[in-house]
Structure 1
């Protein structure tokens, strides 16, 4: 999901505008919308899936994380493939994989098939999303490009809001399978119409860093596995410690491969720059909190409080909308009061919203505590998302903006999967036995994370006032 880094060489000779570029944009946005939807649509469907397919807490956690793990871990590789082969090849390829995987996921009869489908959905998304964004940045110029990128950025907020609603409506109506089946007709329409509209570009010779992509994805997979296992076996157990040590080894190998590679997947030197590190850190924290809210809230409302999926989806609507409002406010504030103040304030608001949830009741009104708390918290988190991207790209030279936003977006997807794994483990007793204490612990833990992150921001986030006009931020 990066600005294509090859778009700048083509900048000097603007290509003649594509005749049907707005139709193409509409279809690409529809495809991207499906990818974003598939992060949140699942959260509301989880309890029904668990009941139907006899999934425990571990399998449930993987249903959420397998998708974001593969999407995030392979996204940079997907961007490189789009450069190497041309987006007119990788967009249809990604769409095909994603659509077929959605069908498989819907037809699942147990955890293995379900998780395989989710993995391939993630692979399809990683092929499709960066390629679609690179087409968009190279096909539009001047004011038109800002408009196109604005539409693309707006998908993030609306996608997660639509995800909870659609997830609830489909799960309650025809069944959770339709949360996946709904992608199939959309995917087919896009597959039929898009190839004729996409600009054709000669493939460019490029080196692909396959070992790098494999190592970073495997490392994060091992990390999630260890974190999830710790919830049942305890933090000191071999089943938790060994995968976590394995993750450290795989990450170290990844760093070594990237240093030695002539065309590394991720330019690790970017991580020596304070704004990029600050942006990646903020993205990690914001995604952990937000995806965690949806995951925990959905299981709490349905398993503990007996809410229907649709009612749960409706209850989450203000939370999703608040995230969008927070992002809008954040983009205004960053330029005025600077990154550091915006990030610290956003995290403080998030922590404030979480505090009452640490005393979440097992009964009583959901509207008195859970809803106001989550809505306030997501307002703060929304502002942190924008600050993350704006900060990371603030001091990067234009020709490396693509690489920097790729780094931040990788932290975004991968951060979401690690965050859900941690919160699932903290809330293990709540998810397994339906005890409210587990959920209280997880919300208290989220509040602590937000406070610690806010303090860290005082040191880590530079006092910049970046412009936020041209930031395509992800869901």
Structure 2
């Protein structure tokens, strides 16, 4: 299903790394932002979902304009790598979230990440196909899509561990009773249950603890996402070349070249 020999080609390897880390860096933290928006800020599912529209809109506009204005002028490595670096910058911008923040603190980072997604995503499959040749176009496109799905799944798991660690650090530092149980409850989206368990006199303190814990967990997750995006962007910039530049379809193993019939 996948010829592992394709990974000898720098461009194909770079695209696969980019696809894997793009999904992890750009989308995996949505699960934990949704927890914060609904559990701590009290939004409904639809309202919380609408908070991510800035990223979707920026990605849609950028993909449309980028394909027309940049595709023939900018090398694919720069498109994908630059997009990943913008995703990293957008994740880092969202680290401004604090205990008193509302959802609007996420908007600048989501917009920057959306521009990065719009630049990088349309170019991934076309660059992978160009790197292996039309004979293996289906294999290349399938590999890229698989890498993106795998990156999202792994990203949610990795960011989940980091998010929980950030929650735990903040809760333990606040000195509340049974900090492990409180951390687990917040990670499960039960912030309102934590607040209801306290007395009226304790409620203001608990409200601050809950919001500070979510802010700490989110900052940790955003930092991890920013690192993923930066690593992916640098790897793509180092490995991906234009088709025909030493890593494209013309770069076929000698056995494959020998099998091509020569017309008289």
Normalised by the length of structure 1, the TM-score is: 0.40
CA distance in 2, matches of 1:334, 1:305: 41
How far apart are residue 330 of structure 1 and its match? Answer: 4.1
- Write the deviation string for residues 238-279 of structure 1: whole angstroms up to 9, x where unpaired: xxxxxxxxxxxxxxxxxxxxxxxxxxx222122222222122
CA distance in 2, matches of 1:419, 1:327: 23
Partner of 2:234: 455
Counterpart check, 1:426 vs 2:162: yes
The answer to whether the Cα contact below 8 Å between 2:17 and 2:236 also exists between their aligned partners in 1 is: no
Partner of 1:92: none
CA distance in 2, matches of 1:278, 1:402: 18
- Write the deviation string for residues 399-433 of structure 1: whole angstroms up to 9, x where unpaired: 21111111111111112111111111111144743
414, 428, 442: which one aligns with 2:150? 414
Counterpart check, 1:395 vs 2:174: no
- Write the deviation string for residues 367-388 of structure 1: whole angstroms up to 9, x where unpaired: 2x21221122122123211222
Counterpart check, 1:439 vs 2:200: no
Structure 2 residue runs without a partner (length 5+): 168-182, 187-209, 246-264
The answer to whether the Cα contact below 8 Å between 1:334 and 1:465 also exists between their aligned partners in 2 is: no
40, 50, 68: which one aligns with 1:314? 50
- Write the deviation string for residues 185-223 of structure 1: whole angstroms up to 9, x where unpaired: xxxxxxxxxxxxxxxxxxxxxxxxxxxxxxxxxxxxxxx
Aligned length: 201
Distance 1:465 1:373, change over 3 A: farther
Please list, as runs of the form range in 1=range in 2, the aligned pairs for 1:296-445 lying within 5 A after superposition: 296-332=32-68, 333-367=70-104, 369-429=105-165, 430=167, 432=184, 433=186, 434=210, 435=213, 436-445=215-224
How far apart are residue 465 of structure 1 and its match? Answer: 9.2
Pick which of 321-330 and 303-312 moved more. Answer: 321-330
Partner of 2:14: 278
What is the aligned-residue RMSD (CA, Å)? 2.2
Distance 1:405 1:357, change over 3 A: same
The answer to whether the Cα contact below 8 Å between 2:29 and 2:156 also exists between their aligned partners in 1 is: no
Please list, as runs of the form range in 1=range in 2, the aligned pairs for 1:149-188 lying within 5 A after superposition: none
How far apart are residue 457 of structure 1 and its match? Answer: 2.2
Pick which of 318-327 and 279-288 moved more. Answer: 318-327
Distance 1:272 1:356, change over 3 A: same
CA distance in 2, matches of 1:400, 1:318: 36
Q: 3-state SS of the aligned residue for 1:423?
A: helix
CA distance in 2, matches of 1:370, 1:286: 19
